[in-house]
Structure 1
Amino acid sequence: MIRTAKAHWEGNLKEGTGTLSTQSGVLDNTNYSFKTRFEENQKGTNPEELLAAAHAGCFTMAVTSMLNAKGFTPTKLNTEATLTMEGLNITGMHLNISGAVPGITAEEFSTITKDAEKNCLISKVLNIPITSEVHFEI
């Protein structure tokens, strides 16, 4: 499997603008800029936001896979990934998951999510502290 994405940029760093596109077409000339990256309330995306989204998606799918392997099917899982930065360094990622899984205990759900925290594909490539918080819904 090979996945691709493209970035295009015009202008200097602070005033220039760019676009991001993905092979799937989900991102199609999506705006990004210095302002969308470092200033609040700007329309567009940024690499850090996309990394958090990728991690949230990967982690949630890993939890689902691990649940399925144990014979459980979630009725819902919701994950929020929060990336933290200090200066120009990404210093951590926090995964906050809530889920409803019939037939499983809160302890089993927590154990599975902690395993996924360490072993989803995105977690494995990040060289930063990763933490998670679990909210089990009945």
Structure 2
Amino acid sequence: MTTRTATARYEGFGKEGKGQLTTPSGVLEATPYSFNTRFGDEKGTNPEELIAAAHAGCFTMALSFALARAGFSEGSLETTAKVKLEQQGEGFAVTRSDLVLEAQVPGISPEQFAELAAGAKANCPISKLLNAEITLEHKLA
């Protein structure tokens, strides 16, 4: 249906190397990434931050559409995704993505909300992509 692209360029190697990420939309335009943006506090981005943004956005949009299909048209959703990178042997792996959702959906029961949120967690395309534990904590106001 659709294909999205991004380009990564890296100059130098290891901890001294520096990279840039660019997307055709222009949202990322030579955005810096490096060892220090991934493991330190240097300004720039990193793959795990981008995965967290993608997962939070995908899940929230999936839930929004599920709520619309269920007849709800008002409210708000705010999701934070916490993506964990852990050392495994001599390498690293993304081992989990913890979704934390705060929502306001007038007229929905807690049971229906929990069911729709669980479905969105399981079925958003980024959840399906990740080979990691995915948790969901939600608060309905």
TM-score of the superposed pair, with normalisation by structure 2:
0.93
- 1:98 is displaced (CA, Å) by 0.7
What SS does the aligned partner of 2:72 have? coil
Distance 1:14 1:127 in 2: 27
Which residue, out of 99, 103, 127, partners 1:99? 103
1:127 corresponds in structure 2 to 131
Gaps (5+ residues) in structure 2?
Answer: none
| Seq. identity, % | 50
2:48–2:85: 8 Å Cα contact kept in structure 1? no
- 1:126 is displaced (CA, Å) by 1.0
Count how many residue pairs are aligned between Structure 1 and Structure 2. 136
Gaps (5+ residues) in structure 1?
Answer: none
Alignment of 1:54-69 (within 5 A): 54-69=54-69
What SS does the aligned partner of 1:60 have? helix
1:73–1:102: 8 Å Cα contact kept in structure 2? no
CA RMSD of aligned residues (A): 1.0
What SS does the aligned partner of 1:73 have? coil
2:53 corresponds in structure 1 to 53
1:64–1:73: 8 Å Cα contact kept in structure 2? no
What stretches of structure 1 move > 4 A for 4+ residues in a row?
A: none
Deviations 1:79-106 (A, max 9, x none): 0001112211111111001111122112
What SS does the aligned partner of 1:14 have? helix
Letter in 1 for 2:109: T
What SS does the aligned partner of 2:94 have? strand
What SS does the aligned partner of 1:80 have? strand
Distance 1:15 1:44 in 2: 15
Distance 1:86 1:21 in 2: 26
What SS does the aligned partner of 1:68 have? helix
What SS does the aligned partner of 1:59 have? helix
